[in-house]
């Protein structure tokens, strides 16, 4: 039997089925063992790795290209920075855990001397309550974010009416961020700020929030050391744009900022769809124009991270490619020198026109009073009147703020009485102060679109009566209501039918309520507080110290406090030493421009616009707001955007037109009779004694208006002797276009359109009429005069290279017109000789140029824009006279005539050729050091005749 059993077993073993079955049994055992190891022995480890190993495909930021000057000096570059960032983490599963982590992060940041991002418009007030900050629009949009309301939709009445305290309580409550624990309100606000930032990214996966940027190594180390307790917090690497000596070059380089939706769409249309909504792009200047060249190519990589945000592995790395570098034609050292020269000259002109008292009704010379200067500190926001009520206000600030409140309340009560129909009196019977307040009411109603000024003109009878002070502002407003000039939809009027008196009552309520919080009206009140000495000039000076405008680390402060110097002497000295600069005061004389160019190529060597700004601070909202509110307009590029009549700088062009068209020849003389009575109104020569008989060269040399009036008149005469103004204008315009005035200069950063005169041939021949050009356009024209006919486009860019220095593009001069064979050599000689006389003849500016070791030729120009403001001051020319290598154009807006810029032109020439600069011929008692100081006008106290030509 056993044999039979063994035989059966052996038979089974020998069968193919057994072999196959055994094979599968062995496989099953091995599989079971492996599953046991994976699920039981190592299951927890693999589960953790599987759960927290997250793949992220990320981009690597590419640095922008560098911007250099012509000598390789760096003007703009990217600096690598580290930032602390945070994003939602799976380990932050509940509000309490999230809030505690954020509190720890804030503490680490503050222990290292930094502050976390805080974009919520709320703060803890001095009395411990929560209050809103920012504008009504900012607060409303913030509420919409919290309540998930589209910006285009409206909040509920309950949400709209929520106070800051109520919104604070809601956000910290259990239905929102649920912030519990022993925190102060200030600490809760900080936690709310970060929770809000994360809340705004709740629908975007893997989008991080920058908590604090540009951190030092110490803070980086602290965050990394505490990473286990800071899930979702990591350190990121990025780039920030830096600008060297930015104030000098900001109008050229421009600045960068976060891309807008409009730009994103435009770039995509241009075929650049690689941009994302978080990218930084050029906003103005070279940064904007050469965006595609400066922007690098982003890299990419795949990251594997755990729940703490730590990188476990990096794969598939494609390195970023830096942007191309842009080399400018600008000489940085020359630019800085001439910018300072321009600012110092403007300060000098201001001081030369500064007097103790000005009769505003009879101020034809546009003198500046100390009253204007002291009020300018408030008018131009140099002194922050809102800070008078801040928790850290000084005792003086608090005192001035309290006095203002009392004074304002008195003004408002009196204005309410003036607007009362029972108290109407002719406005010319009011004091100057209340006359100004009544005028401001008109301005306020117009600017707020309540008074529709387009429905009547200056000749309207009742309006004229009010303008002349014959009736009250209230009577005019009642008339405006009766004529339908008041937009009643903007008034709080109930009922379908209302009479005039009810509308007037509602209008006056709107006016009084509006003025109560109107900053412009407040500034006007401060003006009369200064006039009445409710605030003293000494207090204004002290406020400059209290608010950090001036540093107390000088003897001047001690002398001021101890009454060793008067406030007026103190202010004069601070302007002279450039501690208070013209742009801070924003008076009529506060700005200018200068362009320096190689006339043989159109390459711009210096382009300055004063005042300027710091592009490094442009992302600071407070700083940007201060630029917008500065009445000297520092963001405005005057070199390329400000148009003005060129004045007598236009006379060389007019001379060329007259000679080439045969209106005169080189021997033609005209006797200057001063008053040119062949047209009406009759303009006069600037020299009331006349210039006698002069030919074309002499007429340029002495800038004889009468001579050029005659040219303009003769150009307009038809064959039968009839005057045809359009004929003369077309003749002059023909030559204006030949010299490039019919188009912009081609300068890369953009400029205003030129305007060739289409009114008054007589006045147009002296650069008036409706001629309007920028300094760059005048400069291009004078370059063509200097090189005898080659009209080049202007250029700021020399070349573009890649990051390794290989040439990508070379910019060559662009000749747009060649007049070398069009204009006779004798004409060029006559014009050059005339411009040489301007700088070298005894009757002109020889004393200014006598010590300059290079021969120059130039032309002054005075342009009248308004009788209410000083004339603009021009001077343009070239050097050396026999072989021009540089052309310079200077414009000082409201500079009181061309005499005031001659020496600035001279010093720019000296700077270009590395010759010694000239000190001001005038000094003051405070001129005791070699520091920067105002450059006073030439012989400004002498009373001598000046050649302020061109305006009529």
Residues 890-910: pLDDT tens digits? 999 999 999 999 999 999 999
Residue pLDDT, tens place only, 204-237: 766 778 899 899 999 999 999 998 888 888 888 8
pLDDT of residue 926: 44
Distance CA 686, CA 897 (A): 11
318 pLDDT tier (thresholds 50, 70, 90): confident
Residue pLDDT, tens place only, 546-567: 999 998 888 899 999 999 999 9
309 pLDDT tier (thresholds 50, 70, 90): low
**Same-domain status, 766 and 827:** yes
Provide the whole-model pTM.
Answer: 0.87
Main-chain phi, psi angles of 254, to 5 degrees: 75, -155
CATH code for the domain of 152: 1.10.10
Mean pLDDT computed over every residue of the chain: 90
Distance CA 930, CA 2 (A): 126
Is 551 a member of any domain? no
Distance CA 936, CA 575 (A): 12
Main-chain phi, psi angles of 60, to 5 degrees: -105, 120
Main-chain phi, psi angles of 839, to 5 degrees: -100, -10
- Portion of the chain with pLDDT greater than 90, in percent: 69
- What letter would DSSP give residue 184? -
pLDDT of residue 834: 97
pLDDT of residue 15: 66
10 pLDDT tier (thresholds 50, 70, 90): low
pLDDT of residue 55: 73
pLDDT of residue 90: 67
pLDDT of residue 927: 45
Is 218 a member of any domain? yes
**Same-domain status, 108 and 146:** yes
Is 90 exceeded by the pLDDT of residue 638?
yes
Angle of helix 16-36 relative to helix 2-14, nearest 10 degrees, comes to: 70
Which of the residue ranges 185-199, 211-225, 733-747, 935-949 would you say has the lowest mean pLDDT? Answer: 935-949
98 vs 739: which has the higher pLDDT = 739
205 vs 50: which has the higher pLDDT = 205
Which of the residue ranges 154-158, 402-406, 821-825, 903-907 would you say has the lowest mean pLDDT? Answer: 154-158
Residue pLDDT, tens place only, 445-481: 999 999 999 998 888 899 999 999 999 999 999 999 9
Distance CA 932, CA 344 (A): 8
Cβ–Cβ under 8 Å, residues 783 and 596:
no
492 pLDDT tier (thresholds 50, 70, 90): confident
Residue pLDDT, tens place only, 101-122: 999 999 999 999 999 988 889 9
Most confident of the ranges 56-65, 397-406, 482-491: 397-406
Distance CA 794, CA 744 (A): 9
User: 586: Cβ–Cβ under 8 A, 6 or more apart, which residues?
Assistant: 376, 379, 380, 630, 631, 632
Nearest one of 80, 88, 99 to 209, comparing CA atoms: 88
Cβ–Cβ under 8 Å, residues 21 and 27:
no
Is 357 a member of any domain? no
CATH code for the domain of 273: 3.90.1310.10
924 pLDDT tier (thresholds 50, 70, 90): very low
10 Å Cβ neighbour count for 14? 9
45 pLDDT tier (thresholds 50, 70, 90): low
pLDDT of residue 104: 93
**Same-domain status, 236 and 253:** no
941 pLDDT tier (thresholds 50, 70, 90): very low
Bridge partners, residue 595, by sequence: 607, 889
Residue pLDDT, tens place only, 373-429: 999 999 999 999 999 998 889 999 999 999 999 999 999 999 999 999 999 999 999
3 pLDDT tier (thresholds 50, 70, 90): low
pLDDT of residue 550: 94
Residue pLDDT, tens place only, 75-84: 999 999 999 9
Label residues 514-540 b or e (16+ Cβ within 10 Å = b): ebeebeebbbbbbbbbbeeebbebbbb
Q: Return the H-helix or E-strand segment holding 81.
A: strand 74-86
> Which tokens go with 641?
């955007």
The DSSP result for 16-67, as a single string, is: HHHHHHHHHHHHHHHHHHHHHIIIIISHHHHHHHHHH-EEEEEEE--PPPPE
**Same-domain status, 763 and 700:** yes
Is 924 a member of any domain? no
Domain end marker among 328, 357, 385: 328
Is 70 exceeded by the pLDDT of residue 920?
no
10 Å Cβ neighbour count for 272? 13
Is 60 exceeded by the pLDDT of residue 49?
no
Label residues 397-416 b or e (16+ Cβ within 10 Å = b): beebbeebeebbeebbebbe
What is the rounded average pLDDT of the residues 728-755? 97
Domain end marker among 531, 550, 570: 531
- What letter would DSSP give residue 451? B
**Same-domain status, 747 and 870:** yes
Is 50 exceeded by the pLDDT of residue 952?
no
Nearest one of 825, 419, 812 to 656, comparing CA atoms: 825
| Stated length of the chain | 952
Is 933 a member of any domain? no
pLDDT of residue 945: 40
What is the rounded average pLDDT of the residues 495-508? 84
Is 496 a member of any domain? yes
Main-chain phi, psi angles of 798, to 5 degrees: -95, -50
Match 């300018």 to its residue by tokens: 376
Cβ–Cβ under 8 Å, residues 522 and 516:
no
Domain region containing 861: 592-613+644-912
**Same-domain status, 311 and 190:** no
The DSSP result for 713-729, as a single string, is: HHHTB-TTS-B-HHHHH
For strands 670-672 and 692-694, give the pairing: antiparallel
Match 């209290």 to its residue by tokens: 546
- Portion of the chain with pLDDT greater than 70, in percent: 91
**Same-domain status, 89 and 200:** yes
Most confident of the ranges 141-150, 447-456, 642-651: 642-651
Is 107 a member of any domain? yes
User: 868: Cβ–Cβ under 8 A, 6 or more apart, which residues?
Assistant: none
pLDDT of residue 311: 66
What is the rounded average pLDDT of the residues 344-357? 96
Is 80 exceeded by the pLDDT of residue 503?
yes
778 vs 360: which has the higher pLDDT = 778
pLDDT of residue 553: 81
**Same-domain status, 232 and 255:** no
**Same-domain status, 234 and 302:** no
pLDDT of residue 948: 57
Match 């290292």 to its residue by tokens: 112
Question: How close are the terminal C-alpha atoms of the chain, in Å?
Answer: 144
- Number of domains the chain is built from: 5
**Same-domain status, 17 and 139:** no
Is 90 exceeded by the pLDDT of residue 26?
no
Is 23 a member of any domain? yes
Which of the residue ranges 497-501, 568-572, 597-601 would you say has the lowest mean pLDDT? Answer: 497-501
Alpha-carbon distances, residue 366 vs 352, 524, 593, 834 (angstroms) = 11, 21, 21, 31
**Same-domain status, 34 and 148:** no
**Same-domain status, 700 and 786:** yes
């Amino acid at each position: 039997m056993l044999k039979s059993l063994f035989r059966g077993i052996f038979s089974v073993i020998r069968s193919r089925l057994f072999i196959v079955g055994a094979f599968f049994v062995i496989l099953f055992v091995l599989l079971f063992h492996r599953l046991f190891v994976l699920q039981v022995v190592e299951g927890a480890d693999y589960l953790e790795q599987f759960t927290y190993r997250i793949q992220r495909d990320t981009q690597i930021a590419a640095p922008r290209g560098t911007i250099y000057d012509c000598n390789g000096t760096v003007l703009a570059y990217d600096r690598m920075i580290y930032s602390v960032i945070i994003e939602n983490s799976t380990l932050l599963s509940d509000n309490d855990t999230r809030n505690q982590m954020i509190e720890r992060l804030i503490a680490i940041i503050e222990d290292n001397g930094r502050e976390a991002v805080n974009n919520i418009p709320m703060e803890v007030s001095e009395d411990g309550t929560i209050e809103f900050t920012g504008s009504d629009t900012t607060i409303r949009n913030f509420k919409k974010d919290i309540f998930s309301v589209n910006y285009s939709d409206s909040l509920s009445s309950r949400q709209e009416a929520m106070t800051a305290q109520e919104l604070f309580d809601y956000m910290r409550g259990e239905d929102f961020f649920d912030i519990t624990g022993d925190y102060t309100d200030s600490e809760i606000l900080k936690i709310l700020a970060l929770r809000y930032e994360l809340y705004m990214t709740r629908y975007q996966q893997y989008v991080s929030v920058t908590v604090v940027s540009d951190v030092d190594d110490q803070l980086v180390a602290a965050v990394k050391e505490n990473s286990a307790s800071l899930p979702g917090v990591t350190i990121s690497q990025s780039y920030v744009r830096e600008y060297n000596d930015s104030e000098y070059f900001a109008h050229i380089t421009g600045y960068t900022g976060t891309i807008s939706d409009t730009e994103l769409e435009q770039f995509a249309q241009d075929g650049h769809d690689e941009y994302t909504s978080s990218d930084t792009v050029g906003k103005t200047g070279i940064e904007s124009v050469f965006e595609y060249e400066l922007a690098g190519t982003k890299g990419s990589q795949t990251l594997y991270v755990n729940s703490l945000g730590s990188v476990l592995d990096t794969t598939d790395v494609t390195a970023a490619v830096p942007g191309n570098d842009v080399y400018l034609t600008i000489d940085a050292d020359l630019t800085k020198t001439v910018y300072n020269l321009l600012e110092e000259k403007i300060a000098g002109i201001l001081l030369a026109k500064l007097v103790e008292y000005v009769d505003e009704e009879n101020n034809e010379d546009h003198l500046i009073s100390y009253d204007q200067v002291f009020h300018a500190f408030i008018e131009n926001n140099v002194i922050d009147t809102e800070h008078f009520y801040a928790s850290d206000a000084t005792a003086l600030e608090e005192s001035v703020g309290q006095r203002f409140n009392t004074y304002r309340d008195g003004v408002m009560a009196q204005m309410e009485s003036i607007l009362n129909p029972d108290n109407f009196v002719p406005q010319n019977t009011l004091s100057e102060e209340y006359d100004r307040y009544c005028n401001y009411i008109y301005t306020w109603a117009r600017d707020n679109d309540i008074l529709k000024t387009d429905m009547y003109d200056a000749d309207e009878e009742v309006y004229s009566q009010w303008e002349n002070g014959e009736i009250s502002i209230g009577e005019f407003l009642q008339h405006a209501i009766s004529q339908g000039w008041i937009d009643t939809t903007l008034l709080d009027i109930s009922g379908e039918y209302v009479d005039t008196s009810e509308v007037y009552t509602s209008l006056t309520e709107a006016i009084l309520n509006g003025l109560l919080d109107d900053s412009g009206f407040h500034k006007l009140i401060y003006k009369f507080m200064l006039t009445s000495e409710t605030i003293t000039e000494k207090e204004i000076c002290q406020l400059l110290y209290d608010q950090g405008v001036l540093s107390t680390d000088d003897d001047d402060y001690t002398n001021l406090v101890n009454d060793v110097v008067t406030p007026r002497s103190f202010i004069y000295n601070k302007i002279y030493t450039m501690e208070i600069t013209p742009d801070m005061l924003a008076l009529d004389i506060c700005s200018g421009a200068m362009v320096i160019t190689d006339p043989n190529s159109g390459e711009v060597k210096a382009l300055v616009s004063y005042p300027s700004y710091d592009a490094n601070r442009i992302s600071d909202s407070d700083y940007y707001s201060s630029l917008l509110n500065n009445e000297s307009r520092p963001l405005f590029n005057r070199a390329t955007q400000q148009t003005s009549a060129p004045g007598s700088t236009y006379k060389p062009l007019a001379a060329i037109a007259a000679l080439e068209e045969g209106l005169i020849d080189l021997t033609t003389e005209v006797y200057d009779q001063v008053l040119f009575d062949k047209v009406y109104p009759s303009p006069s020569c600037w020299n009331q004694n006349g210039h006698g008989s002069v030919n074309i060269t002499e007429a340029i040399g002495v800038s004889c208006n009468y001579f050029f009036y005659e040219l303009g008149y003769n150009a307009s005469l038809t064959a039968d002797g009839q005057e045809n103004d359009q004929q003369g204008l077309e003749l002059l315009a023909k030559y204006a276009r030949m010299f490039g005035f019919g188009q912009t200069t081609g300068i890369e950063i953009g400029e205003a359109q030129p305007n060739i005169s289409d009114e008054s041939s007589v006045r147009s021949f002296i650069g008036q009429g409706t001629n309007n050009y920028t300094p760059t356009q005048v400069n291009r024209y004078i370059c063509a005069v200097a090189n005898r006919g080659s009209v080049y486009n202007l250029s700021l860019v020399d070349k573009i290279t890649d990051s390794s220095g290989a040439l990508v593009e070379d910019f060559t001069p662009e000749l747009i017109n060649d007049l070398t064979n069009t204009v006779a050599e004798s004409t060029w000689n006559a014009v050059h000789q005339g411009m040489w006389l301007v700088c070298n003849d005894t009757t002109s500016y020889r004393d200014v140029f006598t010590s300059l070791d290079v021969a120059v030729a130039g032309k002054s120009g005075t342009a009248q824009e308004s009788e209410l403001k000083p004339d603009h001051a021009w001077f343009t020319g070239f050097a050396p006279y026999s072989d021009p290598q540089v052309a310079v154009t200077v414009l000082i807006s409201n500079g009181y005539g061309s005499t005031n810029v001659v020496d600035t032109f001279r010093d720019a020439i000296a700077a270009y050729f590395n010759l010694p600069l000239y000190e001001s011929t005038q000094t003051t008692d405070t001129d005791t050091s070699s520091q920067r100081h105002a450059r006073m006008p030439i012989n400004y106290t002498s009373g001598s005749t000046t050649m302020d030509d061109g305006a009529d």
